[in-house]
Structures are given as structure tokens and as C-alpha cells.
Copies of this chain bind each other. A is one copy, B any other.
Amino acid sequence: MIDTILNHRSIRKYTSEKISKETLEEILNAGMRASTTGNMQVYSVVVTEDDDNKAQLAPCHFNQPMIKNAPVVLTFCADYNRFNKWCELSNAKPGYDNFLSFVTGAIDALLAAQNVCVAAESKGLGICYLGTTIYTADKIIEVLKLPKGVVPVTTVTIGYPDESPELADRLPLEGIVHYEEYKDYSDEDIKDLYQEKEQLPENIGFVKENGKESLAQVFTDVRYKKQDNVAFSKVLLDVLKSQGFMNHED
């Protein structure tokens, strides 16, 4: 069990083997067992297996090849639409058109997503998360026909692995964990924590290829740039508004 978790690699190349309906339902069912706020289950999962639909989703994920190559693409969404409908049918007045409710639904969706991934890996499948979901939520909403109250928060591609990458590097545990209170980092702490990452041949290669001075510059100037982050932030906040989660702002 812990071994499955410890052996996780993001898998970006898949064999042509399909995932059986039985296996897919088994891992989706594992997702449903994750904790959810007040057992409201305010999330939904959209399964994409059809090639035409994958082709429509692909640009939403900057045409990363996993979308078309994976047999199954799962889009995890915060979803108050279903819960609100139930309330209205039950003569109850839902008060979930606000930011807190979006975050609540996003938490439900993400815990379920990680359960699905661990379950999938325990069955020999490989997974990859696509962070692009929150950059292009507006377009994904159109493709998947998500109604008001529903916002996509992450996407996972799943299939049988056709590659066996090395384990990804991670910061030392003490870089992530604080005991009793947050101990802020000195310059020395930061240097120690990131030293191993900076010295990986792969990362030295990235710095060189991109003509940068440091690995951090590859992140700030190439991969996750301020201007993109600001533009995506505005799109995402507009999506929250148009999907009905910011009604306290008026």
C-alpha cells in the first residue's frame, strides 16, 4: 500500500491497451470513498474516452500528448449543481453561491482525485496530473458542457505505462514539514534544501538549454511566468463568477 505511494511516477506514455469498464469503475469507486465535507460529495468526475472529445480537450491542456495517448482522461470538478438541485427539490434554500463553497467543492474533488490515482497505480496503471485545468477552466467548461455551479479543478490521464521513468527528486522532508509552528527559512536553509535539485544533471541541462543563470530562473522566466499567472488568475476568477461562486461580491 505505502509501496504503491512511494513508487509513484507521473506516466506520460501509455500502451494502446484499453482500461476495462470494470477496472475503471473500481478506481472511480475508490475515489468516492475519500472524505468529503459533511458527506455532501460536492464534486463530479467527467470521463473522456472518445477520440473526438479528447481532440477537443487537447488544446485546453496546451496539446500535451497525454490527452490523446491515454485511454482515459478524467476531469475532476467542484460541483454544487447537483447538491443545489437536491436542496431546491426538498424545499431547502441553498446558500452555496460563494467562494467558500467553491473551495469546499475543490477540496472534495482533489481528495477523490488522489484516491483514484493511488487506486489506479495499485492496479498497475500509470497516471499524470495536468495542472493546465485551472488555466483554461473556461474552455473546459464549454467542451464538457459544465453547468453553473461546476468548475473543473484538475485533470488526470490514465493508462497502462509505456515508460519507466526515474523517481522524481523531492526536497528533504524537513524542507516541507514544520513542528509546532512554521520555522521560516534562512538563506542558508534555502541553499541547503535546494542544493540537490539544482545539481541534478537534468536540471543543469534545463538551465543551459534555456540560456538562464539559475534553475529558479527557468521557473520564473520560462515555465511559470508572472504574466501568464496573472492572466490565468483573471480567467479563473471570472470563471468562479460566471459559474455562480462569487455572488457575495455584489
**Which residues on A are within 8 Å of B, measured CB to CB?**
1-2, 4-6, 8, 10, 25-35, 37-41, 43-50, 53, 81-83, 85-87, 89-96, 98-101, 103-104, 106-107, 110-111, 113-115, 117-119, 122-123, 127-129, 131, 134-135, 143-147, 150, 153-154, 168-171, 173, 175-182, 184-185, 187, 190-191, 193-194, 213-217, 219-221, 223-227, 229-230, 232-234, 236-237, 248
- How long is the Cα–Cα vector from A224 to B129 in the complex, in angstroms? 31
Check if A92 sits within 8 Å of B221, measured CB to CB.
yes
Complex partner residue of A100 from B1, B122, B134, CB under 8 angstroms = B134
Q: Which chain B residues lie closer than 8 Å to A94 at the CB level?
A: 220, 226
Q: Is the interface of A mostly helix, strand, loop or mixed?
A: helix
Going nearest first, the 6 A-B pairs with the smallest beta carbon separation are: A95-B226, A90-B216, A1-B122, A92-B216, A114-B114, A90-B214
Q: A3 to chain B: closest CB distance in Å?
A: 8
